[in-house]
Amino acid sequence: CPRPPCRRRRRPWARPGRVQAALDCLADLPVDVLATTSRTFDAAYLSVPSTATVVDDVSHTDVMQSAAVVVAHAGHGTTLSALCYGVPLVCVPGIGRDQVPIAIRVAELGLGIALIERATPAATCKAVSPPLSDASLRARMAEFTIRCGYRACAAPARDVL
């Protein structure tokens, strides 16, 4: 662990089932998947498809430059990192008080898709496909990133266009 000893913290909202549902639905798409447990449960609880890697946590800076889409709970950190790097979002809010409003705002700005709190795996899969192929969404992401002053982070998104 890059940080002090890894300790699994008991968090009532940490559900391996949510991560498993995402892994299951993304397994058949032509993408490589990186999922995190956020150190809230052991990855051994998951059935990981061959197209996926599961880690305890990962630095957003290390992975956002190569991400095509981010499926996340719409927390501040992941959402802002994705926006900084021009990566479209599929927001599946959890129980955090701010997650639903953040997801709604991402969708209002046209920077991603907001799913209801208890989105089905099928709905999540259906939501991931458009950001992978929508050139207009990629253009909006690049414009938003530049307007917010994240020019250094925006370069990868501009290069895709």
Contact between 20 and 41 under an 8 Å Cβ cutoff? The reply is: no
CA-closest candidate to residue 145, choices 111, 120, 118: 111
Average pLDDT across the chain, whole number: 82
* Least confident among 20-29, 121-130, 137-146, 147-156: 147-156
Residue 107, pLDDT score: 95
Which two three-digit tokens encode residue 67? 């991400």
Average pLDDT over residues 123-136: 88
Is residue 38 over pLDDT 60? Answer: yes
pLDDT given at position 150: 66
Greater confidence, 75 or 149? 75
- Contact status, residue 93 vs residue 99, Cβ threshold 8 Å: yes
- Residue 154: the pLDDT is 45
pTM flag (> 0.95)? no
**pLDDT confidence bin for 137, thresholds 50/70/90:** very high
- What's the mean pLDDT in 139-157? 71
Buried b / exposed e over 12-32, threshold 16 CB at 10 Å, is eebebebbbbbbbbbbeeebe
Give bridge partners of residue 36 from the DSSP assignment: 55
Question: Between 107 and 28, whose confidence is greater?
Answer: 107
Q: 29 Cβ partners below 8 Å, 6+ apart?
A: 125, 128, 129, 132
Q: Is the pLDDT of residue 1 over 60?
A: no
